[in-house]
A = this chain, B = another copy of it.
Amino acid sequence: MSQLELLKSFIGQEFRVSPSPLMRWLNPTIISAKKGNLVFQYQVRPEWLNPIGNLHGGITAAIIDDILGATMFSLDEPAFFTTINNVIDYFSVAKPDQIIIAETFVIKHGKQFINAECNIWNNERTRLIAKGKSNFFKTEANNHNMSQKHIELSGNENLKQNYQNGIFN
């Protein structure tokens, strides 16, 4: 099963087999999954709030970063994607227990770099809550299976080393 097929097989369900521990904690329900275009749904939880009692911008940022990572996986490329940066603009609020929607898009798909964006909406998609964008750097991998809980990096210890130490090192 490809990574995209795995995502599709969880449409309508919580993505409890995500290889991202943070995603399992954020616990989204997959609404739709296409190559480079994911829609996930989340429910605002008590520990996600800011001092005023609304959704904390830090969780919004975490959701954006995490689903953008999953969007790279949906491309089914034999590569690792390192996030270079994340730029988030905050527009509106979400309340406790509110359902919010994250939708992603690939803006530019290069050989080495990918740029992608994420909109955070209220459940009816009538109000934009936040928008983020990231640049990703691709490193080719020999074996990269998202459906396994941990990612195997066989055959290229150098790559594994580089990836695990970060692109700036």
Contact = CB atoms under 8 A, between A and B. Distances in A.
A13 B87 CA distance: 32
A146 B51 contact: yes
A108 B65 contact: no
A46 B24 CA distance: 11
A56 B112 contact: no
A10 interface: no
Contact of A128 (B46, B56, B107): B107
Interface in A73-117: 80, 82-93, 107-108, 110-113, 115
A47 B22 CA distance: 5
A63 to B, nearest CB: 7
Interface in A123-138: 128, 131, 133, 135, 137
Interface of A: 18-22, 24-25, 46-54, 56-59, 61-66, 69, 80, 82-93, 107-108, 110-113, 115, 128, 131, 133, 135, 137, 146, 150-151, 163-169
